[in-house]
Amino acid sequence: MQIASRTVASFHYRLTDDAGQVLDSSEGREPLSYLHGQGQIVPGLEKALQGRQAGEQFEVDVIPEEGYGQRHEELVQEVPREAFQGVEDIQPGMQFQGRGPQGAFTVTVTAVNDDTVQVDGNHPLAGKPLHFSIEVTDVRAATDEELAHGHVHGPDGHHH
């Protein structure tokens, strides 16, 4: 069976940056499973998986526009330190969840000053090319329930 709309694909992956440093990997874990065509993985990787079959191994480079997008400097902001009430020790690299008009978002602390904290609302991989090594481990038809819910269910059904 080939990866196409209405299928569940499972794959092992290794994601590296331009310098070859591993940024993420499924090594030592279960393969990643997703419902193809639902936007659950970055678009460039989903396009590269289209038509593949279990057992295939390949490399794919994903440009920022088909990955996590370009960086937007307007998403880097200084906020008052008081906005982090209850957090004693704010450090660069910490991530916080927020909610705005477009829904939930995550910011990463990039600098801490006496009265302000600089946060970056860009995805940490925004503006960067992504280099994937992929091994497709399974392709199967999605169940009616998975299609109705828009996501993969585990072997024991859904839990939500």
Q: Tens of pLDDT along 111-145?
A: 999 999 999 999 999 999 999 999 999 999 999 99
pLDDT at residue 104, rounded to an integer: 85
- 60-98 pLDDT, tens digit per residue, is 999 999 999 999 999 999 999 998 888 889 999 999 988
What values do phi and psi take at 40, rounded to 5?
A: -85, -15
Question: How is domain 7-68+126-149 classified at the architecture level of CATH?
Answer: Roll (3.10)
Q: Where in the chain is the domain with CATH 3.10.50.40?
A: 7-68+126-149
pLDDT at residue 155, rounded to an integer: 63
Q: Where in the chain is the domain with CATH 2.40.10.330?
A: 73-120
CA atoms in the 13 A half-sphere facing the CB of 111: 9
What values do phi and psi take at 13, rounded to 5?
A: -145, 155
Question: Which segment of 6-15, 76-85, 141-150, 151-160 scores lowest on mean pLDDT?
Answer: 151-160
CATH of domain 73-120: 2.40.10.330
Instruction: Extract the tokens encoding 81.
Output: 């330190």
What predicted TM-score, i.e. pTM, was given to this entire model? 0.83
Name 36's Cβ contacts closer than 8 Å, sequence gap at least 6. 3, 4, 5, 6, 7, 8, 9, 46, 49, 50
